[in-house]
Structure 1
Amino acid sequence: MKLKGLTVLATMVVICALALIVPAASAGAQPEPSTPFLISGWVIYPNGAPVTNPSVSINITNTSEVLTAETNASSNYYQILTSSGNVSEGNIVKFNASNGNVKEFNHTVTDAEMTNGGFVQNITISGIAKHVVISEVCINAGDSNESEWVELYNPTDSPINMTGWHWCYFPSDKNWNNSYRNKAFPEGATIPRHGFYLILVSGSVNETPDWNLGYSGHQLSDTAGSIGIFPFDPDTKTAEAAKNGRIDAVGWGTSVEYVYETVNASVPASGESLQRKVSDSINEGAGPAWDTNNNSADFFVQTAPNPQNTGTKPVPPIPEMSTLILFASGLVMLVCYVVLRRVK
């Protein structure tokens, strides 16, 4: 009986030893963890202004996974950290960067980038809007009615139906989901390609408004306030959701607390208006579509307001810089061709 007990004890010792050895062997068989691969950079506008809190994502050709960058609301820096096991030399990284305007492009991973464990990719996003913008705001026309109106502009190549959209006015202390005036666009309201849409808030205007809100008396503050255009009723959303889902907004006056983009625009005097720029350095001559999400940088005080409606002749936005370069190159080639012909 004593021998039997020793046999049982020995068997238990062997089993315990095997239990310790097998996991250790299995753990030793695991591959070493791969090294990190960092993709990072800065997002800017063509004029060098930062695109704060940009949306950046990538897709690597050898995986179906979409990786979203870490960003910060107060910075234009982004970073995407993945594993080097997900990336190989020659892979194409498809970038999608947005702040309302979208920039898409491809990057081919090099051997040096694999060795370095990543790469820096700075991104320039167009300052020309690809969506409907608030193009001009008159908060006091200087007439006996202190007339008020808002003009929209469509810089895209197609007409846009605004059914379901909302026009809202916010006093200086109201948040994005707490408007003072809120109107749904008329059913079928459409803004033409490269065209305008005129909203009369109160009073009268020398051009026929496309939409008369019908308010009597002064509505928009002469010192500080905001106008927003939304694809939904912002008062049914959280303040953050309303802000992030806006189509466009402009705030004027330094005391505006919530509804504005980066820095408030200046306050126009009676008889003046706030007008959106054509580009960073151009105010006239093409469609007013400059949009860097900075009201102070995107608008200027217009001393001769010019309300325009859907009947106004369409005006395309200024071409992108690459298009201008191609156009200029084409002109140079044409001139050279003419000169050579004359020499012959």
Structure 2
Amino acid sequence: MSTEQAQPFLVDAVRASASKMQGMKAALDARAKELDALRAQLDSERQDLEKRAARLEAERRTIDGERDEVRVARASVDQDLATIRADRENLSVEQARLQDAANDLAAREKALREAESNVERLDHEMIGRMREADAKFLAIVNREEELFKLQQDWLVAFETREQELRTITEQMHVRQEESTELHESLAHLGSVFKDETDRLAAQRQELAAKEESLLEAQRYLATVIEAADVGPREAERPSPPPADEPPAPTESPPPPMPIVASTAPEPVEAENTPEPEERPAVTRAEAMDRLTRAIEAWKRARDNGRNVGEMRNTLKLAKEALQAGKYESAIRLATEVLDDLQSAVIVR
């Protein structure tokens, strides 16, 4: 019975030891797993450390390169510091120059303020002058209105005078026709006078031939008288007295010669006298015709609404010149008016 009682106890012990062994095995397995995990972690950390060592080596090399660069940079910085010192000195000089420029600028600002005050004063003066100019302009406008009224009155008077001029022009045309007829009659008289002059010239030539023959007779008588003084025989000649009879009438022809000479210029004056009378008549008619055409053109331009106030004075001067007998001036002024009107029409 003791053996039977001891066997369950052993079984329990064995079971307990087996379970304990299983627990220890499980703990060992877990510990092995932890060790494997630690080993893997250590391997990874070792790899990280190797990588860090390589990185540190690269960084050390980089630091060495950067150290060299720092040395070079320090040298350049030293140079830059020297340059900065020089620049600082230059800046001090520039600062002094800028101070002087600031002083000049302040003086200029002061001058500008004074100029602005002067400009404001001039503006006030200009405003006053502009107001005065406006007042004067209004006075001029009123004056122009008065002048326009006077111009209208003058135009009415001018139209009246124009009608009178037309009447005078018609009368002048009639007189021109009469002067033309008179000119034709004077031309006929001139031809008759020319024939008479030719006849008188022929008579004058005949008288000149007679005078030459008388002079030859006088020379002959002088020769005979000289021969009579030479000898007594020649003194008995009574022929000279009958020969003296022709010289007596020969002395009378010289008075007719001046008469003929005096009559000859008279026809010349008669020929010249109609010419000055004829020219003024024709010139006056031409001047009247030209002035009439200029006045008609001026009226047409005025009726069309054009500004022809300046041409009115020119027409007035032309009319005064015509009345004073200055026909060339009247024609010239009327021609200027016609040319101005024609050029204005071409421009339009």
TM-score calculated relative to the size of structure 1: 0.21
Of structures 1 and 2, the larger Rg is shown by 2
More helix by percentage: 2
TM-score calculated relative to the size of structure 2: 0.21
More strand by percentage: 1
